[in-house]
């Protein structure tokens, strides 16, 4: 078995790995670098318009040319975050093979392909329920196992190969009281461990936090408290979170308890909500979709200006993205301008990249200058922390481990945890970098 580290080994994002067994390859995830993607829009460039080569040069796409001569039989996607799926429209042309994904993830991928006017490729999207197995060939069978993360239908992928079982733990937390969906399928995870795992691949985004990640239930309590207190003032209340975090958005809707009209502002927010609605994960009749940023109906803005105490505005902009609704309001590009009494709740954390930190600094500074009251970090993470990783390693008990989804420092910190658990760096744990491969014996 050969493991290819294609993207996600020098940064948080751009995730793409592959396993080769007897000349056949399965790719796991196909994401972009969110940092470089945001840089594009800052330079006035559009992802949809740029070709594959240019995007690779700009650092947006993973460099998968190493797979050029390989027989790729499937792409198995772990979950629907953009740093795991956004490269699909740019790279699928060269593979023309099934794209396996859980139902919500599959719906997001379909929308992505349609956005890129690639309807011809919709036929490759293959929805997989938890427990389903795709019997791809003599060399590969792929099973999806229920996991928890910060997006619906997250999964741990079990890849049965002719050279042994591989488990793919890309973006998970061990949430025993999730507010949407079920807790991780511990029974199945234990069974996989008992069957004997050759190689485990694990994300390592929050490896430096020496604790377990709190449950989404904790975030729900925080959201309820933040909204109850915000409503003590008769000012406009804005709240922002990750557009794909449907569980969180549901909590926001529940916390509102019907007291205010909820208005959704921002294209990505609408896109993810519509996808969730299609699968019955959220009831969109409970709020008003205001339209895409350029076409936001001015009557909605007029209504908020007239009676701010009647509205809760759920918008994009939690990372301070320059083209988000919150940034545009602070830049006075909308009819609605922030007023001194207004409140903005960030139900998110800053994804720690230099560009996000800079963007958040700018948006927060502008808001403060406009007298806005800011409430930050009404949030818990969707990523496993050090002690969650230790828990999963003990359940799965793999022979070998490769950490993914981080710079060398993060990968090395995960390797250090593995050493604590009895693994040996360079022998049973491999620290990889983009563009390299390793033979797993």
Nearer to Zn ion (CB atom), residue 153 or residue 171: 171
User: Which residue's CB is nearer to Zn ion, number 112 or number 344?
Assistant: 112
Nearer to Zn ion, 81 or 400 (CB): 81
What CA–CA distance (Å, rounded) separates 438 from 2?
6
Write down the least CB distance from residue 149 to Zn ion, Å. 6
Beta pairing partners, 274: none
Q: Which residue is nearest to Zn ion (CB)?
A: 171
CA dist., res. 199 & res. 1, Å (int): 10
Residue (77 or 312) nearer to Zn ion, CB: 77
Start-to-end CA distance of the chain, whole Å, equals 7
Give the residues lining the site for Zn ion (CB under 5 A). Answer: 81, 171
CB of 14 to Zn ion, least distance (A): 13
**Helix intervals (H) in 148-289:** 186-195, 216-230, 246-256, 267-278
State how far the alpha carbon of 133 is from the alpha carbons of 51, 158, 267, 395, in Å: 34, 9, 34, 21
User: Contact at 8 Å (CB) between 34 and 95?
Assistant: no
CB nearer Zn ion, residue 127 or residue 169: 169
CB of 79 to Zn ion, least distance (A): 6
Which residue, 171 or 270, is less far from Zn ion as judged by CB?
A: 171
Give the distance from CA 143 to its chain's centroid: 20
Within 8 A by CB and 6+ apart from 181, the residues are 146, 148, 152, 153, 247
Whole-number minimum distance, CB 81 to Zn ion, in Å? 4
Name the minimum Å distance from CB 203 to Zn ion: 8
Least distance to Zn ion, CB of residue 109, Å: 14
256 within 8 A of 278, measured Cβ to Cβ: no
319 Cα distance to chain centroid:
13
DSSP structural state of residue 385: B
């Amino acid at each position: 078995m050969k493991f290819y580290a294609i993207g996600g080994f020098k940064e948080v994002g751009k995730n793409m790995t592959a396993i080769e067994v007897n000349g056949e390859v399965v790719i796991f995830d196909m994401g972009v670098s969110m940092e470089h993607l945001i840089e594009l829009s800052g330079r006035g460039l559009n992802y949809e318009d740029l070709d594959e080569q240019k995007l690779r040069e700009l650092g947006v796409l993973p460099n998968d040319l190493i797979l050029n001569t390989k027989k790729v039989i499937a792409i198995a996607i772990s979950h629907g975050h953009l740093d795991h799926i956004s490269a699909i429209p740019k790279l699928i042309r060269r593979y023309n093979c099934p794209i396996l994904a859980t139902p919500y993830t599959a719906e997001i991928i379909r929308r992505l392909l349609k956005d890129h006017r690639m309807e011809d490729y919709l036929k490759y999207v293959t929805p997989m329920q938890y427990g389903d197995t795709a019997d791809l060939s003599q060399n590969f069978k792929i099973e999806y196992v229920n996991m928890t993360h910060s997006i619906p239908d997250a999964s741990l992928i079990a890849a049965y190969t002719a050279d042994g079982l591989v488990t793919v733990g890309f973006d998970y937390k061990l949430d025993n009281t999730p507010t949407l969906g079920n807790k991780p399928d511990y029974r199945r995870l234990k069974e996989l461990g008992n069957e004997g795992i050759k190689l485990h691949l694990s994300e390592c985004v929050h490896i430096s936090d020496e604790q377990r990640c709190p449950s989404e239930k904790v975030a729900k309590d925080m959201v309820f408290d933040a909204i109850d207190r915000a409503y003590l003032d008769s000012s406009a209340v804005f709240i922002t979170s990750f557009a794909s975090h449907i569980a969180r958005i549901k909590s926001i809707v529940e916390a509102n308890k019907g007291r205010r009209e909820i208005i959704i502002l921002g294209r990505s927010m609408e896109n993810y909500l519509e996808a969730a609605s299609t699968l019955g994960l959220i009831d969109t009749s409970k709020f008003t979709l205001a339209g895409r940023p350029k076409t936001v109906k001015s009557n909605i803005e007029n209504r908020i200006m007239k009676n701010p105490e009647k509205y809760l505005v759920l918008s994009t902009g939690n990372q301070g993205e320059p083209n988000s609704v919150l940034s545009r309001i602070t830049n006075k590009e909308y009819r609605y301008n922030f007023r001194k009494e207004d409140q903005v709740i960030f139900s998110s954390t800053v994804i720690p990249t230099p560009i996000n930190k800079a963007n958040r600094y700018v948006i927060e500074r502008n808001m403060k200058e406009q007298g806005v009251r800011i409430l930050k970090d009404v949030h818990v993470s969707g990523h496993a922390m050090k002690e969650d990783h230790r828990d999963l390693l003990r359940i799965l008990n793999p022979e070998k481990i490769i950490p993914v989804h981080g710079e060398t420092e993060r990968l090395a910190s995960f390797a250090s945890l593995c050493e604590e658990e009895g693994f040996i760096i360079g022998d049973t744990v491999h620290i990889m970098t983009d563009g390299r491969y390793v033979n797993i014996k």
